[in-house]
Amino acid sequence: MSDEHNIQYRAEPGGSLKGKARVPGDKSVSHRAIMLGALADGVTEIEGFLEGEDSLATLRAFRDMGVEISDPEAGRVVVKGVGLHGLKAPAKALDLGNSGTSMRLIAGLMSGQSFDTTLIGDASLSRRPMRRVSDPLSSMGAAIETGADGTPPLHIHGGRRLHGIDYDMPVASAQVKSSLLLAGLYAEGETRVREPAVTRDHTERMLDAFGYAVNRDGGWIGVTGGGRLRATGIRVPSDISSAAFFIVGASIAPGSDLVLESVGINPTRTGVVDIMRLMGARIDLQNERLEGGEPVADIHVTAAPLKGIDIPEYLVPLAIDEFPAIFVAAACAAGTTRLSGARELRVKESDRIQVMADGLQALGIDAEPTPDGMIIQGGRLEGGRVDSHGDHRIAMSFAMAALCANGEILIDDCKNVATSFPGFPELAGSLGLHLSVGAADG
């Protein structure tokens, strides 16, 4: 392929999803396992690590700071921790690729180091807002320079004395919360965060697993600096964000009967299940259990007629990454689906509101973008060509849309699917999606 950005998916119409499958490991948990394992005292063994580009970017960054980390083998990674104060200055800028999670969380950790660090990313990451972390970190005493418009690269000056703060977050964001809590490991006193709505709590759970006390009091979440992390074993559950494409696909494709095994069902992440059930989806959680401190289950999905709904705003932060797939479900549902309170979707890997609206309109669906959401009139999806704008979740969502379309869907710029879901075309094909990968024809 002359230009890997021209990787194109060709999804043939129809089909159904059947069988059993295990989607890749949870990206959010994989990031945090590497970070805290690197900063712990002792050796941490990780099972189920996501070998996608985003998680590997985090792994490489900590290798560049002197941490010995094994190459992943079938999801197993061994991290020889150096302790909270054992990182070394990297010889070059830390390149975090497409991973906003890596950049925002590592910015918090780097704020407490004795050395200077520069964080860079690809073209997409270089457009994403970073003042939401750099401003509160600066109020803790960090010295961070961003680009003129608050975007990467981030230049973080070391040797700063951090102090704990109380931060009432203006926007619900697990990345901002996590960045401040991780900086709080290096701060004098207690760092406390209060969020306007519940967001994913993987950082708090993993700090607990590594033996670092997390204070929870009246809506505030806090850590006190000066402690230590103790190495532990981490088993990464399958990623519900990756499972979401198949949950939607099996719901909209007649005749589907699918089981997704060992999926993380952390209650801060199950908004997609709740929303799909409100739309009429038949989703059954089986064999619920705890693995590595995270709740998991096997998710059984069978096809069902869906109806449009007004999506409850309290569920928005619990499904923020899954909305591209949910929009496809709405397009296949009877009636109108309305989403509001999701302005955060405009500053993801792409403007997911506008890009999904454009794609759905190209496929014959009445989809009206709003400043903080979308109004979708369910209908019959036509074939057509859409541009994912390099956004992995949009590419996979439109691939699933072909299951209820009456024509072929071509999806451009699919290279970044590997950031979160290596092997997606192969797994989807094995379950019944008629998907091929090739070079775009211009």
Q: What is the pLDDT of residues 384-406, one digit of tens each?
A: 999 999 999 999 999 999 999 99
Residues 241 and 330 in one domain: yes
- Per DSSP bridges, beta strands 18-21 and 257-264 are parallel
Residues 321 and 361 in one domain: yes
DSSP string over 38-81: HHSEEEEEEES---SHHHHHHHHHHHHTT-EEPPPBTTBEEEEE
Radius of gyration in angstroms for the set of CA atoms belonging to the chain, rounded to a whole number: 21
DSSP for residue 405? B
Q: Could you tell me the pLDDT band of residue 440, with boundaries at 50, 70 and 90?
A: confident
Question: Could you say which of 179, 206, 235 is where a domain stops?
Answer: 235
Residue 408, pLDDT > 60, answer: yes
Determine what percent of the chain is predicted with pLDDT higher than 70. 98
The whole-number pLDDT of residue 442 equals 57
Residue 2, pLDDT > 60, answer: no
Q: What would the two tokens of residue 197 be?
A: 């709505």
> 23-42 as b/e, with b when 16 or more CB fall inside 10 Å?
bbbbbbbbbbbbbbbbbbbe
Residue 338, pLDDT > 70, answer: yes
pLDDT, tens digit (0-9, with 9 covering 90-100), for 113-169: 999 999 999 999 999 999 999 999 999 999 999 998 999 999 999 999 999 999 999
In this structure, are residues 184 and 37 in contact, taking their beta carbons and an 8 Å threshold?
A: no
Residues 189 and 220 in one domain: yes
Residues 347 and 403 in one domain: yes
| CATH number of the domain where residue 111 is located | 3.65.10.10
423 CB burial (10 A radius; 0-12, 13-18, 19+): middle
Residues 56 and 72 in one domain: yes
Residues serving a catalytic function are 321
Residues 264 and 225 in one domain: no
Question: Could you say which of 195, 215, 235 is where a domain stops?
Answer: 235
pLDDT, tens digit (0-9, with 9 covering 90-100), for 287-319: 999 886 789 999 999 999 999 999 999 999 999
Closest to 222 measured CA to CA, from 277, 161, 163, 177: 177
Which residues are CB-neighbours of 59 under 8 A, at least 6 positions away? Answer: 34, 69, 72, 77
Question: Could you say which of 235, 250, 267 is where a domain stops?
Answer: 235
Residues 252 and 184 in one domain: no
Mean pLDDT over 163-187 rounds to 96
Residues 206 and 242 in one domain: no
What range does the domain containing 380 cover?
4-25+237-439
Residues 417 and 297 in one domain: yes
Residues 74 and 97 in one domain: yes
Q: What are phi and psi of 307, to 5 degrees?
A: -125, 150
Mean pLDDT over 352-356 rounds to 98
Domain count, the chain: 2
Residues 365 and 433 in one domain: yes
The whole-number pLDDT of residue 1 equals 33
- Per DSSP bridges, beta strands 294-302 and 257-264 are antiparallel
Residues 38 and 95 in one domain: yes
Closest to 190 measured CA to CA, from 229, 156, 220, 157: 220
* pTM assigned to the model: 0.88
Which residues are CB-neighbours of 426 under 8 A, at least 6 positions away? Answer: none
Cα dist. 108→36, 39, 53, 144, 363 in Å? 13, 13, 21, 10, 42
The whole-number pLDDT of residue 5 equals 53
In this structure, are residues 260 and 284 in contact, taking their beta carbons and an 8 Å threshold?
A: no
Residue 24, pLDDT > 60, answer: yes
